[in-house]
Amino acid sequence: MAKAFTPKVVTANALLEGDAVWLTEDDRWTRDIAEAELLTDEAHAELRLMEAQWRQDEIAGAYLADAKASDHGPVPTHFREEFRTRGPSNYFHGKQTEA
């Protein structure tokens, strides 16, 4: 029996900066997962992923990540994705130094 589809977001890494980014409903890349488009239909999610993968001049490594709705927009459901929302972890740089 096939596994039931769970909500997803399209995520990737920004090509120049390397930051984790998420695809919004209006086709922007955002560094805030709360702005991401939450995809609840499997066919639509696959279509959005294919569209994102064509944008190789902006991002690298696009894939669908499990997420769920919250009062503030999508939130990750897996530790790996939660970790990616915090930025690079090798040392403080970029947005981490501003916190």
| Closest by CA position to 84, among listed 65, 59, 58, 60 | 65
pLDDT tens-digit map of 36-52: 999 999 999 999 999 99
pTM of the model: 0.85
| Contact between residue 65 and residue 81 where contact means Cβ atoms under 8 Å apart | yes
Question: Bridge partners of 59?
Answer: 14
Q: Where are the beta strands (DSSP E) in 1-99?
A: 8-14, 20-23, 29-30, 59-68, 75-76
pLDDT tens-digit map of 27-84: 999 999 999 999 999 999 999 999 999 999 999 999 999 999 999 999 999 988 988 8
Residue 86, SS3 per DSSP: coil
